[in-house]
Amino acid sequence: MDEQHLNHSDRSAGSSIFVLSASVNQYLSLVMAFAVIFSSFIAWPPLSSWLISCIFYLLLLITFSIFIKVLFMIRNWQCRFSLNKDGHGILNAADAFHFAKRPFISPFICILYIEFEDKYRDSIWVWSDMLNDSQYRLLCRLANHVR
């Protein structure tokens, strides 16, 4: 997978810019989530009737199709946001946001819970391999500072 992560800090404005693209950890997390979902098909009752068999295989096909679609969507996924030490930032150079609640920070993933000016809430999931080590540590420090 050819990934290019362009990251830099804009010290004049006091904010750091982070550019994210798909990562190996993101793919692995998606595969694990779908493995759990697919394992639920093992718990189905015996396929004794024609109707239950059709429903089972239809749901299996739909689930597999969604999984393939999401995998292809992630290939082209990118996110760009800036974040300052006060917990305010801009997502994709247009939408101002601030933290809605405390972020979840771990060595593997940093989840930022954000709220936009129109009160819409969302989250940004940043896997550690989406950024280089120093950028990931900077993001975690900025997010931790707001706690």
- Chain centroid to Cα 138, Å, comes to 18
- Cα–Cα distances (Å) from 14 to 28, 86, 142, in that order, read 34, 10, 11
DSSP reduced 3-state for 93: coil
Write down the pLDDT at residue 147.
60
Q: What percent of the chain has pLDDT over 70?
A: 90
Mean pLDDT for the chain? 86
* 55 vs 14: CA distance, rounded Å: 55
Angle of helix 50-75 versus helix 24-39 axis, rounded to 10: 170
Domain ranges of the chain: 8-20+81-146, 28-75
Q: What is the mean pLDDT of residues 104-132?
A: 93
Write down the pLDDT at residue 43.
84
At 116, the pLDDT band (50, 70, 90 cuts) reads very high
